[in-house]
Amino acid sequence: MPPARLSSTGAPPPHTHLPETASDQLRWLDLEDDHLRLRILNFGAITARLDLRTDDGWVPMVLGYRDIAAYLWDPFYLGAIVGRVANRIGGARFDLAGRLIALDANEGGNQLHGGAAGLGRVFWDLQQVTDDVVELSYTSVEGENGYPGCAEFLLRITVSGTSVSYDMRASVDKMTPINLAQHNYYTLGTKGDIWGHRLRCPAAAHLPLRPDGVPTGAIAPVAGTPFDFTDGQSFAKLDPQRRGTDTHVIFSKGADSHMPEVATLTAPNGVAMRVCSDQPGAQIYTATHLNSAVAAQDGQQLAPFAAVCIEPQGFPDAVNQPDFPSVMVHPGRPYHQKLLLDFSTNEADQDD
């Protein structure tokens, strides 16, 4: 079936690189089975809704806007696929075979999530493959946001039972960095804050950050820090001063698993989400800077600590850190990332 269409709603102006009539281009497709339902936008490949069927009916697992047009000027990347390079690139530049590549700087002097017109803020082609599969594609031309080479992106989203998977691919015509991330803000059905949520993650190390959020280049143990998620403690227990978390942790993977479980998030209501990924680490962000009076869906609040982002990806600023695993992609060696989210209910809560 053709994607649904949204007429102009009089919402605030979209991002400056978009035309005033951008809302006329906005489309979406819905996926649904007995357990999950999703709404996928052609703008930013955004997951605008992700609901789980429980004994109380459909319950939203992620934050989202009530008005779909609000995504056109959203500054928080709610539900988007971000890139070409997710996270931060220090100085919005890097050296490529002796040539300085200058990128679009959109967070001070750094680049964040691919630039102001990165993948999370452009229109993709959207089509329904089957009742439970949608595909999105986008061509990023050479020089877009400063990146070398043309990159062809293909995203396949599949609903199966209590799981949703994101299959992300890219092919390029010349060497260029690619590092994608899916940027859902997970609530797991809660409408308050996430201090009572528990995150279990087999990550023994993290990347210390400079004040501007760019990695220093060091790798440090998580033991004794608020980033030690190995025992599945609550965010409140790990961060009693409630400063918030925005850091990259490095997974400890088993050598025999290509898609290991890298995190489990459990809410006080008993809803849990398992995250399986083939990436080396993830950004963990407790929405410290989320703050908007725009109406959210289903009585949610767009407020600090209202959700947590778990964003599997390659190491941030790897283009400037020779000791980090490379995120360079070459012709004939395409990029591929797999992410699976699996939801369950009635998970027993445990005291710290």
Q: What is the pLDDT of residue 347?
A: 77
Q: Give residue 236's identity as a one-letter amino acid code.
A: A
Strand, helix or coil for residue 320? helix
Q: How many CB atoms lie within 10 A of CB 263?
A: 23
Structure tokens at 47: 């997951």
Q: Give residue 335's identity as a one-letter amino acid code.
A: Y
Q: What is the pLDDT of residue 12?
A: 66
Give Cα 52 to chain centroid, integer Å. Answer: 19
CA distance to 81, 103, 133, 226, 320, per residue, from 167 (Å): 11, 26, 11, 31, 27
**Do 249 and 227 contact (CB within 8 A), yes or no?**
yes
Helices (H), 146-203: none
Phi-psi region of 84 (alpha: psi -120 to 50; beta: other; left: phi over 0): alpha
Environment class of residue 95 by beta-carbon count within 10 Å: exposed (0-12), middle (13-18) or buried (19+)?
exposed
Residue 350 lies in a domain: no
Q: What is the pLDDT of residue 56?
A: 85
In the chain, the number of structural domains is: 1
Residue 268 lies in a domain: yes
Residue 349 lies in a domain: no
Q: What is the pLDDT of residue 6?
A: 47
Helices (H), 121-203: none
Averaged over successive runs of 10 residues, the pLDDT of the chain (352 residues) comes to: 48 84 95 96 98 94 96 97 98 96 96 97 97 97 97 98 98 98 97 96 96 96 96 96 96 71 96 97 97 91 97 98 96 96 82 48
DSSP 8-state code for residue 145: G
Q: What CATH number did the domain enclosing 127 receive? A: 2.70.98.10
Q: What is the pTM of this model?
A: 0.95
Give the domain extent around 306.
4-344
Residue 351 lies in a domain: no
Residue 168 lies in a domain: yes
